Structures are given as C-alpha cells and as structure tokens.
Amino acid sequence: MKRAPVQGTRRLNKPPGTISWEEHVKAWEAYNAKYHSHQDADRIAERGGFDYAELLEFLGREPETWSQR
C-alpha cells in the first residue's frame, strides 16, 4: 500500500511519520480547495508531505492511518 510522508510537529510533540496515500489525497483536496495550489498531491509528498498540524487542519480530525517512521 502506498504511503505518504508526514513531517513531525514540535509544538504537538509529534515525530515524523507516514499516512496512507488515500488519506494524504483527502488532506491535499482540502489544501487545494483552500489555497488553489499548483502543487499536486505527488509533489507535496515529494517535498516531505504535510506536517501533522496541517493534517489536523485539512482533515478536520486526527489522521486515522498515521504511523511513526
């Protein structure tokens, strides 16, 4: 199963991890709707993925598939 990287977040004391590709795409869809980004989901992943706090914002909840690297 394809996974996307997640950057750690110091202020939430979350280390780097990964999430399922499907959950990454859901976060990217919310990100793209808000910012109208020219970066697709693949490019976000190539650049290190969202950080954990961004996932909370874009998913509106804790990521269900997060696991620590």
pLDDT of 46-67, one tens digit each?
A: 999 999 999 999 999 999 999 9
Could you tell me the pLDDT band of residue 6, with boundaries at 50, 70 and 90? Answer: very high
Domain boundaries, the chain: 3-20+35-68
pLDDT at 46: 98
Residue 22 CB neighbour total at 10 angstroms: 13
Cα(21)–Cα(33) distance, integer angstroms: 18
Cα(64)–Cα(19) distance, integer angstroms: 8
H/E run at residue 3: strand 3-6
